[in-house]
């Protein structure tokens, strides 16, 4: 029978009370604290904390603290991207952020899912679906991208939008739920 961590990594329902999962959460909490308390006058130390925390960090990518993650190791960010303050990247499943992406303040990328039915939810079952953000995407301040969503390259997501389903490349999407309002040339 697979462990809860193996179930989690496979995208199957799991309960996050296994010691190995809790140790991974603890590791991420320590590294987040190191990054979030790092000094702007020590850019090398700040970058080292990020490289220890995240699964992959592209060249010339800049993340402003504070940053909040579940595990960190399931997040990859491409080169020349920018993540503004108070980003919440809950990486129970993989979060893949492309190159040249701009992420506004207070953006949330949320891979976890929970059962709608009361009994499994009370029993603490959960699961997750990956999120993919294409190259040259701009996520406006306060945007929320939900589990299982892919945002196509060059797309702009307006401030405060809630992205509940995939967005194609080269569009502007706004609202809750986010809807395409314009195509980009």
On the CB side of 14, CA atoms within 13 Å amount to 24
Active site residue 16: no
**E strand or H helix at 88, and its extent?**
strand 87-90
Name 130's Cβ contacts closer than 8 Å, sequence gap at least 6. 11, 93, 94, 95, 96, 111, 147, 148
Q: Is 130 helix (H, G, I), strand (E, B) or coil?
A: coil
Residue 33: count other Cβ atoms within 10 Å of its Cβ. 12
Nearest Cα to 101, choosing from 72, 143, 49?
Answer: 143
Q: Which of 27, 64, 114, 179 is catalytic?
A: 114
Nearest Cα to 81, choosing from 64, 96, 62?
Answer: 62
Instruction: Characterize the bridge pairing of strands 75-77 and 56-57.
Output: parallel
- State the Cα–Cα distance between residues 171 and 158, nearest whole angstrom: 11
Give the catalytic positions in this structure.
114
């Amino acid at each position: 029978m697979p462990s809860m961590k193996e179930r989690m990594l496979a995208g199957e329902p799991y309960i996050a009370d296994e010691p190995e999962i809790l140790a991974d959460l603890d590791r991420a909490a320590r590294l987040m604290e190191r990054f979030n308390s790092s000094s702007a006058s020590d850019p090398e130390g700040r970058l080292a904390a990020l490289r220890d925390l995240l699964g992959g960090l592209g060249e010339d990518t800049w993340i402003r603290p504070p940053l909040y993650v579940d595990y960190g190791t399931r997040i990859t960010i491409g080169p020349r991207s920018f993540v503004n303050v108070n980003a919440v990247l809950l990486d129970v499943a993989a979060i893949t952020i492309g190159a040249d992406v701009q992420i506004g303040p207070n953006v949330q990328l949320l891979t976890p899912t929970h059962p709608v039915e009361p009994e499994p939810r009370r029993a603490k079952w959960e699961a997750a679906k990956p999120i993919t953000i294409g190259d040259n995407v701009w996520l406006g301040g306060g945007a929320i991208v939900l589990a299982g969503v892919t945002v196509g390259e060059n797309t702009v997501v307006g401030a405060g939008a809630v992205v509940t389903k995939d967005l194609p490349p080269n569009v502007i999407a706004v609202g809750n739920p986010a809807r395409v309002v314009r195509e980009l040339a």
